Chains A and B, each alone.
Chain A
Amino acid sequence: MGALEEARELLREFPVVDGHNDLPWALREQVRYDLDALDIAGDRSDRLHTDLPRLRAGGVGAQYWSVYVPAEQPDPVAATLEQIDCVRRMLERYPADLAPARSAADLETARAEGRIASLMGAEGGHSIANSMGTLRALYALGVRYMTLTHNSNVDWADSATDEPRAGGLTAFGREVVREMNRLGMLVDLSHVAATTMRDALDASTAPVIFSHSSARAVCDHPRNIPDDVLERLPANGGMAMVTFVPKFVLQAAVDWTAAADENLRAHGLHHLDTSPEAMRLHRAFEERHPRPVATVSVVADHLDHMREVAGIDHLGIGGDYDGTAFTPDGLDDVSGYPNLLAELLDRGWSRTDLAKLTWRNAVRVLGAAEDVARGLQAGRGPSLATIEELDGTPGGS
């Protein structure tokens, strides 16, 4: 049996739990949530990385749908609720393929039914507007992880891609982590500064996750995880879900992106600008400097390293599909996961190892967070802390 065939067979038994997919934001941007206008029941490879046929082809059995909103939204809480509404409407619309899931038990039920368990993750502490009540409301709506920051700092935690301010987590930030532990919402450390990762590991009594991050030792980018943090995952019980985004996983792509950003800035534009003028400059740059292409093998290199440092019980997959413009060759869209498994089989990963990578670790981690929450709820009630009480005036000093 060829490796690819074996990978597919394996995925039928232990499908992928993917940590991060930005389809809801893509539906907002492309069709303003009009699910008729971009029906994912059919092939949408012209406009999206994700649709139901390709999720099936890719062997996806559970998806954390990201309810990401940019921190610059006028009201990020309202926008986050709109994202949650989008996921709820997707679940109502495609009941044969998508199963609402809030727990480890729901994941196993969905696997037994052959449906894709659908969970939600909020990407960035700005989605709770410094409000514990809002955090609990998100939990009540089914959100099962929150990434502590996105690309910018929040008042209580530093981001990997912003100037250090809090030096990790503030007192209120630690209280947010404690409250997430009490609720059973996973603490997601993708996007956060290494100082925040360490502070959160100190504060959390439940397993943490990295919903879409790779290894900094393999590719030195702030979005990736340093070895000293990976080393702490066995004691914590959590997991790092490897991401495929070329500009984080391939050094040549990191360098190329930095040069492309510099090119935009040299023309007086912000490096994340997507105006027609910016896109024209970008295309011109790309013609002069061909974009380096990542491959399945590059991602497997990250996994080999992460396995060495964190151990096989602490790995997972978070593709970031529809949240990134470029994808590696062979992992072009959500149908590509079998190619990654085939590569790992060729590198000598056992079937048991792969079942942990795709399914078992993620189910174990969510279940462990639920256990911790049950224990904590017996001992303490909802946190009533405010950021003013714990940190003084937000944004000050």
Chain B
Amino acid sequence: MADLQDDIPRTTEVGEDDGLPDDPFHLPPDVPAGDVPAGDLPSGDVPAGDPLERARALLAGHPVADGYSGLPWALRHLPGHDLQLGEAAVDTDLPRMRAGHVGALFWSLHLPEGPAGERPVAATLEQLDLARSVVEAHPEGLRLVRTAGQVIDARNRGRVAVLLGPAHGAALDGSLAVLRVLHALGVRVLTLAGTTWAGDSGLSRFGEEVVREMNRLGVLADVTGAGPATVRRTLALSKTPVLCTRSAARALRPHPANLSDDLLAALGGAKGLCMVPLTAEQTGPAVPDVADHLDHIRDVAGPECVGLSGTYDSGVVHPRELADASRYPHLIAELLRRGWSETELSLLTWGNVQRVLRGADFASRAAQHRREAPTPRITDLDAL
């Protein structure tokens, strides 16, 4: 589906979605309204010279779709926050997202106590409720979206698209019905690791049924942190591209959530997406370290299979110069210096996530003709 990755429609092609007026003031200042570049930029559009300037120009056309943000949890105990005008207590607010050219964000519904916490269902619903109310409180800046098309629509309206997820697999409480309800509430990514049905020995029968039902609904599987057997089985089973929302290269840094080269190659073969976290622990303490991981994953998995995860506001230490959501141009400038082509960069920041979201939408529509909603609970399929 690589041919679909970059078909950003122009503003004029996009219909009304909910009657909110277009607000040109909230487009990045260096992009005039109605002049959002479509497709690959001709090289002439990006000024030669200063890599940072070139990075900004490139990001204006192909903003960052960030695979993991902990913002909802960070805002939980921050009454009176205002993301629109700026909020120093967090790493992510609208002025800094504008400066960093963030066009879309996955908002994590993970629970700080991890998947094993008590009452994971209610706690996940609370996270979801909080995320929805934060988006509702910032209608000029944020837009809750559910599909690839809505991401584009939000972008053409100058809003940052917010996708809900990943949520912990434990939030299902062993029930496919709960998965369907979470999908109805907008959840689009589910992390498999940390559940009894996606353990070291791979997916159980119930785990396989979860993945098939995720495909039918259009919920992306996140295999970050899962064992190699689960990663391989999910790649083989899933009709939808598989995500790693927070994985870097194990060959460069031995972190348990990082992927070995053979898994990266398998992910690339299945046209999944490895989203590299900007964390000192997983990628290293400086921009060149992050760039090394991106280079490596591009080379092993392929340029269509690498993306970015800011991991801001999730309680981790970030590499120097990448302290908040405004810093993406510095990373892109480094990649330009290393000879990344504009096509590769546009895939890295935006195009690959679009491809994966479209893949989920297509697979879902196809599967709904073939499969009905299954009802078993974990106790029906897995011996406990």
Which residue of A81, A84, A129, A133 contacts B129 across the interface (Cβ within 8 Å)? A133
Q: What's the Cα separation between A201 and B282 when bound, in Å? A: 56
Residues in chain B near residue A81, CB distance under 8 A: 121, 175, 177-178, 181
Q: What's the Cα separation between A384 and B78 when bound, in Å? A: 11
Is there contact, CB below 8 Å, between A78 and B173?
yes
Residues in chain B near residue A128, CB distance under 8 A: 122
Is there contact, CB below 8 Å, between A382 and B125?
no
A379 to chain B, nearest CB (A): 15
Chain B 177-219 interface mask (CB, 8 Å, partner A; 1/0): 1101100110000000000000000000000000000000000
Residues in chain B near residue A381, CB distance under 8 A: 133, 137
Q: What's the Cα separation between A82 and B133 when bound, in Å? A: 24
Is there contact, CB below 8 Å, between B184 and A88?
yes
Which residue of A32, A85, A129 contacts B181 across the interface (Cβ within 8 Å)? A85
- How many A residues face the partner with a CB closer than 8 A? 26
Is there contact, CB below 8 Å, between A78 and B184?
no
Which residue of B128, B132, B133, B180 contacts A85 across the interface (Cβ within 8 Å)? B180
Q: What's the Cα separation between A129 and B125 when bound, in Å? A: 11
Q: What's the Cα separation between A132 and B129 when bound, in Å? A: 9
Cβ of A258 under 8 Å from chain B: no
Which residue of B126, B132, B133, B175 contacts A134 across the interface (Cβ within 8 Å)? B126
Is there contact, CB below 8 Å, between B373 and A89?
yes
Is there contact, CB below 8 Å, between A137 and B129?
yes
With A82-B177, A133-B129, A140-B132 known as contacts, the answer to whether A77 contacts B122 (CB < 8 A) is: yes
Residues in chain A near residue B373, CB distance under 8 A: 85, 89
Cβ of B365 under 8 Å from chain A: no
Cβ of A248 under 8 Å from chain B: no
Is there contact, CB below 8 Å, between A82 and B125?
no
Residues in chain B near residue A263, CB distance under 8 A: none
Which residue of A33, A85, A133, A140 contacts B130 across the interface (Cβ within 8 Å)? A133
Q: What's the Cα separation between A34 and B175 when bound, in Å? A: 14
Cβ of A6 under 8 Å from chain B: no
Q: What's the Cα separation between A34 and B125 when bound, in Å? A: 26
Residues in chain A near residue B12, CB distance under 8 A: none
Which residue of B122, B127, B173 contacts A129 across the interface (Cβ within 8 Å)? B122
Cβ of A255 under 8 Å from chain B: no
Which residue of A77, A85, A86, A141 contacts B121 across the interface (Cβ within 8 Å)? A77
Residues in chain A near residue B125, CB distance under 8 A: 77, 131, 133-134, 137
Cβ of A163 under 8 Å from chain B: no
Cβ of B375 under 8 Å from chain A: yes
Is there contact, CB below 8 Å, between A82 and B178?
yes
Is there contact, CB below 8 Å, between B119 and A129?
yes
B329 to chain A, nearest CB (A): 35
Cβ of B79 under 8 Å from chain A: yes
B111 to chain A, nearest CB (A): 12
With A75-B121, A78-B121 known as contacts, the answer to whether A382 contacts B129 (CB < 8 A) is: yes
With A33-B177, A85-B180 known as contacts, the answer to whether A141 contacts B122 (CB < 8 A) is: no
Which residue of B137, B175, B181 contacts A141 across the interface (Cβ within 8 Å)? B181
Is there contact, CB below 8 Å, between B180 and A88?
yes
Q: What's the Cα separation between A134 and B173 when bound, in Å? A: 15
Is there contact, CB below 8 Å, between A141 and B185?
yes
Q: Which residue of A lies closest to B129 (CB)?
A: A133
Q: What's the Cα separation between A26 and B122 when bound, in Å? A: 24
Residues in chain B near residue A75, CB distance under 8 A: 119, 121, 173
Which residue of B126, B132, B178 contacts A78 across the interface (Cβ within 8 Å)? B178
Q: Which residue of A lies closest to B174 (CB)?
A: A78
Q: What's the Cα separation between A77 and B125 when bound, in Å? A: 9
Cβ of A271 under 8 Å from chain B: no
Chain B 107-130 interface mask (CB, 8 Å, partner A; 1/0): 000000000000101100111111
Chain A 131-148 interface mask (CB, 8 Å, partner B; 1/0): 111101100110000000
A217 to chain B, nearest CB (A): 40
Q: What's the Cα separation between A33 and B177 when bound, in Å? A: 10
- Which interface residue of B126, B128, B137, B177 has the most chain A CB atoms within 10 A? B177
Residues in chain A near residue B132, CB distance under 8 A: 136, 140
Q: Which residue of A lies closest to B171 (CB)?
A: A78
Which residue of A33, A88, A131, A140 contacts B126 across the interface (Cβ within 8 Å)? A131
Is there contact, CB below 8 Å, between A78 and B128?
no
Residues in chain B near residue A89, CB distance under 8 A: 373
- Which interface residue of A34, A85, A384 has the most chain B CB atoms within 10 A? A85
Q: What's the Cα separation between A41 and B70 when bound, in Å? A: 46
Is there contact, CB below 8 Å, between B177 and A85?
yes
Chain A 65-82 interface mask (CB, 8 Å, partner B; 1/0): 000000000010110011
A119-136 with Cβ < 8 A to chain B: 128-129, 131-134, 136
Which residue of A82, A132, A141 contacts B184 across the interface (Cβ within 8 Å)? A141
Residues in chain A near residue B79, CB distance under 8 A: 384
- Which interface residue of B79, B119, B137 has the most chain A CB atoms within 10 A? B119
Residues in chain A near residue B181, CB distance under 8 A: 81, 84-85, 88, 141
B132 to chain A, nearest CB (A): 7
- Which interface residue of B132, B137, B375 has the most chain A CB atoms within 10 A? B375
Q: What's the Cα separation between A15 and B82 when bound, in Å? A: 49
Which residue of A82, A129, A133, A140 contacts B175 across the interface (Cβ within 8 Å)? A82
Closest 9 pairs between A and B when the two form their complex, measured CB to CB: A133-B126, A133-B129, A85-B177, A78-B173, A82-B177, A137-B125, A81-B181, A129-B122, A78-B121
8 contacting pairs across A/B (C-beta < 8 A):
A32-B375, A77-B119, A78-B175, A78-B178, A82-B177, A89-B373, A128-B122, A129-B122
Residue ranges of B at the interface with A (Cβ–Cβ < 8 Å): 79, 119, 121-122, 125-130, 132-133, 137, 173, 175, 177-178, 180-181, 184-185, 373, 375
